[in-house]
């Protein structure tokens, strides 16, 4: 059997090479996408005992706006959860934020998770040293991951050692070292410690609208979940702690809390715009892998049925010598499986070569687990052997010996076989064209995001985010002077609104209509902020040091305070125009004194393209550094690269605040992230499209090779009857390109629908124009034409005497 298989594979080397090339590429794509899907669907799988764990998300339902969900929640209602819902067996609060860590003379920022003492009963992290049951027993006890232990102590045996953390650099004793969580984990907790005593004064503990951390609950009985979900919708109304029900509704509408299963968090966060990758995109990538494999299988079926005539005499002779149809079918399927096994080996090698590149494009640290890869490849070999080998085997084994041996020409499968081959080519090119169109649209959208106007000047700007550290409140002025004196710095301003960070929000209303509040995002800014970012003033003025009402050390003053708002805020407040907004009085939900609008700026998009444009309200902040909270510093520079300026700023920073780690980002780099992910995903689709087109072109080449060889006599007769070379060439090329044209009937609607859904996730997006569809169609026709041109041109030029002489 093995000798027969090898003999048949080597007898028709060109067909075998084409088939192996297509199968290898298809298997490589399928295995790579299987690894991606495995990585994404196994998110948080490393955390055991989470089947009954749920996160409580905050839902906002403000009038005139679509419902919004936030993956954070206030802690105000936590003490009442188990009282209101007896089915909840436990509640956990966590807040994760970076803190300064001091070890000897070394200072660095590390993510720190403040949590309740029950943390390790919710998240059962693998302890490398220490006991999780007592790891947070004392107020100064902490648990750290192995990476931090190695970073500061050079070993994971760090229990009993101390780390000095945060503003006061108080020593904390390490009671546990836990194993680092894999990359596909939603929460990387870093240093875990108990909430400090002053946490009781944090807004998230006292105010429903403050959402700093996460709340997790244990619900052992899933049957209780519907009742809990319904009850949580009204949880805020039951416990309006520290405020009134009217204020809660003005700030958050009639929203409440909603439980999200822990294993669903990864994809849920993507759905609500809180990061991650969408389930639809993962499913699409999985479909790309399946379709690539299916395309390769179609290619195999096409080539096998096309060259069936070459093996008709072999089948007839074997039947004459006693072979049964069952034996022939088994032999043909085994032959196909042997080809699939060889292709699987080559495909695995291609996957191993490309997996790191593919992983880098999507941000996946992929590996090649032997058991998973071996199981997938074994299933692929069986599927290809049976799926791609069964139909050709049935066709070949059905030939009757007598007519085949008596005929001067071999059977070709008839009209039904020709139609089947056409349908298969249409499916191949339809899939490839769909992917190619999606690639162009995604690339165009990424390019649009990269170049779209944001209403500000982004080049030559650096945001020093480490200036927001609370221990720097009294040193803001000193830091500002030190950074302004750095060579190359041409301007400096301070604000707690900066690219990818617009967090504070309250409900505001016109003084004349206090009952109709709208949500505005607010922040502080110094007089130089508008010029530094190149913001356009539409009406009124920006903050001026000569106007005392422009500035105050606290947002809630006892007198009327001047504010500047954005165009979108004017629209939300129901004011007819920016000019009409000047002098209007507004009031926030806290019943503070009125605030007077003295300026309106044009809209500036500080957040990403997926986020809705935020309505902004600015309070004036004096250049002297007086404020209740620390804010970021914004530096404009010229005459040097961002990296050089960053190092100079670092040196100046150390001179004033050596106890706080320096952290800064170029604004251009921050905004580059908006398009980078979509561009990478577009590149993935492009790779899939290129491989699919390649597989389809291989199949078309093999089919053209077979068809031209079958029609040589027809071509000779046509030329004897007066047909010119160009006439024959046109006839053959049009016949081969017809399936490519028909493929567009499938590809265009599918790609249009898929890209319309994908683009709907962007607040700013391109129009779905016809040009990508037309470009891909023309490219597919060009590729198809180039694929078949060699065979058709040779056949069209051949002398009819030589062709007819073979009869």
Q: How many CB atoms lie within 10 A of CB 505?
A: 18
CA distances, 559 to each of 122, 523, 546, 556, 626 (Å): 48, 18, 17, 9, 18
Residue 453, SS3 per DSSP = coil
CB 610 within 8 A of CB 762: yes
| Percentage of the residues of the chain whose pLDDT score is greater than 70 | 83
Tokens of 136: 């947070």
Is the predicted pLDDT of residue 257 greater than 50, yes or no? yes
More confident residue, 682 or 802: 682
Q: How confident is the model at residue 665 (pLDDT cuts 50, 70, 90)?
A: very high
Most confident by average pLDDT, 85-94, 315-324, 337-346: 85-94
Count of other CB atoms within 10 angstroms of residue 203: 15
E-strand stretches of 673-783: none
pLDDT band at residue 315 using 50, 70 and 90 as cut-offs: low
Q: Which residue has the tokens 């969580």?
A: 181
Residue 716 pLDDT: 72
Share of the chain above pLDDT 90, in %: 31
Q: Distances in Å between the alpha carbon of 764 and those of 448, 450, 608, 613?
A: 9, 11, 9, 9
Read off the pLDDT of each residue in 157-168 and give the average, rounded to a whole number: 85
- pLDDT bin (cut points 50, 70, 90) of residue 5 is low
Position 741 scores a pLDDT of 87
Per-domain residue ranges for the chain? 62-254, 281-322+372-449+674-804, 470-659
Is 225 exposed, middle or buried, given 0-12, 13-18 or 19+ CB atoms closer than 10 A? middle
C-alpha span between 307 and 218 (Å, rounded): 63
The residue-averaged pLDDT of 337-358 equals: 88
Compute the distance between CA of residue 437 and CA of residue 456 in angstroms, rounded to an integer.
Answer: 32
Nearest-angstrom CA–CA distance, 304 and 538: 70
Q: How confident is the model at residue 555 (pLDDT cuts 50, 70, 90)?
A: low
pLDDT tens digits along 742-756? 888 889 999 999 888
Q: What is the DSSP letter of 596?
A: E
| pLDDT for the residue numbered 245 | 67
pLDDT at 64: 58
User: What burial class does residue 703 get, using C-beta atoms within 10 Å of its C-beta: 0-12 exposed, 13-18 middle, 19+ buried?
Assistant: buried
Q: CA 612 to CA 650: how far, in whole Å?
A: 34
Model pLDDT, residue 807: 46
Give the mean model confidence (pLDDT) for residues 314-329. 70
DSSP label at 777? H
What does the pLDDT read at residue 548?
73
Length of the chain: 807
Note whether 438 and 586 are within 8 A (CB). Answer: no
Question: How far is C-alpha 375 from the geometric centre of its chain's CA atoms?
Answer: 27
Beta bridge partners of 505: 521
In a 10 Å sphere around its CB, with 0-12 CB exposed, 13-18 middle and 19+ buried, how is residue 69 labelled? middle
Three-state SS for 373?
helix
Q: Which helix (H) or strand (E) holds 564?
A: strand 561-566
CB atoms within 10 A of CB 284: 19
Task: Give pLDDT tens digits for 560-597.
Answer: 889 999 999 999 888 999 999 999 999 876 656 688 99
Instruction: Give me the chain's average pLDDT, please.
Output: 82
| pLDDT value, residue 328 | 73
Q: Give one word for 143, left, alpha or beta, with left for phi > 0 and alpha for psi -120 to 50.
A: beta
Is residue 732 helix, strand or coil? helix
What is the residue-wise DSSP string for 515-551? Answer: TS-EEEEEEEE-TTHHHHHTPPEEEE----TT-GGGB
Summarised one tens digit per residue, pLDDT across range 378-430 is 998 888 878 777 766 776 666 666 565 555 454 545 565 567 667 777 888 88
DSSP 8-state class, residue 262 = G
CB-CB contact of 421 with 302 (8 Å): yes
Separation CA 773–CA 434 (nearest Å): 9
pLDDT surpassing 80 at residue 796:
no
Question: Measured in Å, how far apart are the chain's first and last C-alpha atoms?
Answer: 35
Q: What are phi and psi of 367, to 5 degrees?
A: -125, 180
Sole residue written with tokens 């005539």: 309
Region 427-453: what's the mean pLDDT? 85
Check pLDDT > 90 for residue 146.
yes
pLDDT exceeds cutoff 70 at 668:
yes
Q: What is the mean pLDDT of residues 779-806?
A: 71
Q: How far, in Å, CA of 465 to CA of 653, rounded?
A: 12
Q: How many CA atoms does the CB half-sphere of 662 hold within 13 Å?
A: 16
Tens-digit pLDDT profile for residues 204-241: 888 777 777 899 999 999 999 999 998 888 777 777 77
User: Residue 168: which pLDDT band, with cuts at 50, 70 and 90?
Assistant: low
Contact 191, 165 (CB under 8 A): yes
Tokens of 399: 């030939």
pTM score, two decimals? 0.78
Rounded to an integer, what distance in angstroms lies between the CA atom of residue 377 and that of residue 27?
Answer: 8
Task: Report the distance separating Cα 409 and Cα 397, nearest Å.
Answer: 18
Residue 322 to residue 158: CA distance in whole angstroms: 77
Using CA atoms, how far apart are residues 800 and 804, in angstroms rounded to an integer?
A: 6
């Amino acid at each position: 059997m093995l000798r027969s298989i090898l003999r048949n594979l080597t007898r028709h080397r060109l067909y075998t090479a084409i088939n192996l090339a297509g199968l290898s590429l298809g298997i490589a794509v399928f295995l790579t996408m299987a690894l991606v899907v495995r990585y994404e669907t196994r998110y948080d799988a490393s955390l055991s005992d989470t089947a009954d764990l749920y996160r409580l998300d905050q839902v906002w339902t403000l009038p005139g706006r679509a419902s919004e969900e936030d993956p954070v929640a206030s802690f105000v209602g936590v003490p009442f959860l188990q009282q209101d819902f007896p089915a909840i067996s436990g509640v956990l609060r966590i807040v994760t934020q970076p803190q300064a860590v001091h070890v000897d003379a070394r200072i660095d920022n590390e993510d720190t998770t403040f949590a309740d003492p029950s943390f390790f009963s919710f998240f059962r992290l693998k302890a490398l040293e220490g006991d999780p049951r007592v790891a947070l027993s004392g107020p100064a006890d902490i648990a750290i991951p192995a990476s931090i232990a190695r970073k500061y102590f050079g070993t994971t045996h760090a229990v009993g050692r101390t780390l000095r953390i945060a503003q006061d650099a108080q020593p904390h004793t390490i009671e546990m070292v836990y194993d680092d969580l894999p990359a596909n984990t939603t929460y990387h907790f870093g240093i875990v410690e108990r909430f400090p005593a002053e946490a009781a004064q944090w807004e998230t503990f006292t105010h429903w609208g403050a959402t700093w951390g996460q709340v997790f609950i244990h619900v052992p009985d899933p049957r209780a979940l519907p009742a809990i979900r319904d009850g949580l919708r009204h949880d805020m109304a039951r416990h309006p702690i520290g405020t009134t029900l009217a204020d809660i509704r003005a700030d958050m509408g009639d929203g409440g809390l909603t439980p999200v299963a822990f294993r669903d968090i990864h994809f849920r966060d993507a759905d609500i715009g809180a990061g991650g990758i969408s389930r639809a995109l993962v499913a699409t990538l999985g479909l790309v892998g399946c379709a690539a494999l299916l395309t390769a299988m179609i290619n195999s079926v096409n080539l096998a049925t096309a060259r069936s005539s070459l093996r008709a005499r072999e089948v007839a002779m074997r039947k004459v010598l006693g072979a049964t149809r069952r034996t022939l079918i088994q032999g043909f399927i085994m032959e196909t499986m042997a080809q699939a096994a060889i292709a699987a080996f080559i495909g695995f090698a291609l996957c191993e070569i490309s997996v790191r590149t593919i992983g880098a494009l999507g941000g996946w640290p992929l590996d090649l687990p032997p058991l998973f890869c071996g199981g997938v490849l074994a299933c692929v070999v069986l599927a290809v052997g049976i799926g791609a080998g069964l139909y050709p085997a049935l066709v070949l084994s059905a030939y009757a010996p007598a007519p085949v041996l008596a005929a001067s020409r071999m059977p070709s499968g008839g009209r039904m076989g020709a139609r089947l081959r056409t349908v298969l080519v249409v499916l191949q090119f339809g899939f490839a064209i769909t992917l190619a169109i999606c690639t162009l649209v995604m690339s165009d959208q990424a390019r649009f995001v990269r170049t779209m106007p944001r209403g500000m000047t982004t080049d030559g700007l650096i945001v020093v985010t480490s200036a927001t550290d609370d221990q720097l409140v009294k040193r803001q002025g000193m830091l500002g002077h030190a950074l302004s004196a750095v060579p190359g710095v041409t301007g400096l301003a301070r604000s707690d609104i900066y690219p990818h960070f617009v967090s504070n929000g309250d409900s505001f209303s016109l003084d004349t209509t206090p009952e109709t509040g709208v949500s505005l995002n607010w922040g502080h800014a110094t007089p130089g902020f508008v010029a530094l970012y190149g913001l356009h003033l539409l009406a009124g003025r920006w903050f001026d040091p000569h106007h005392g009402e422009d500035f105050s050390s606290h947002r809630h003053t006892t007198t009327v305070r001047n504010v500047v708002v954005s165009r979108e805020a004017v629209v939300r407040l129901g004011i007819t125009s920016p000019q009409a907004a000047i002098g209007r009085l507004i009031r926030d939900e806290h019943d503070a004194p009125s605030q007077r609008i003295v300026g309106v700026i044009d809209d500036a998009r500080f957040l990403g393209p997926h986020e809705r444009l935020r309505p902004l309200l600015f309070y004036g902040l004096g250049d002297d550094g007086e404020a209740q909270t620390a804010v970021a510093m914004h530096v404009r520079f010229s005459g040097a690269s961002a990296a050089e300026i960053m190092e100079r700023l670092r040196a100046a920073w150390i001179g004033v605040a050596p106890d706080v780690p320096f952290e800064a980002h170029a604004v251009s780099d921050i905004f580059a992230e908006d398009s980078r992910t979509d561009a990478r995903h577009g590149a993935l689709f492009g790779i899939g499209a290129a491989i699919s087109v390649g597989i389809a072109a291989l199949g078309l080449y093999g089919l053209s090779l077979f068809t031209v060889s079958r029609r040589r006599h027809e071509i000779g007769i046509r030329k004897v009857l007066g047909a010119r070379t160009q006439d024959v060439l046109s006839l053959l090329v049009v016949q081969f390109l017809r399936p490519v044209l028909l493929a567009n009937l499938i590809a265009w609607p599918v790609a249009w629908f898929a890209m319309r859904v994908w683009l709907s996730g962007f607040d700013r997006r391109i129009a779905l124009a016809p040009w990508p569809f037309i470009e891909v169609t023309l490219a597919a026709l060009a590729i198809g034409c180039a694929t078949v041109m060699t065979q058709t041109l040779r056949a069209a030029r051949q002398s009819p005497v030589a062709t007819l002489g073979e009869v």
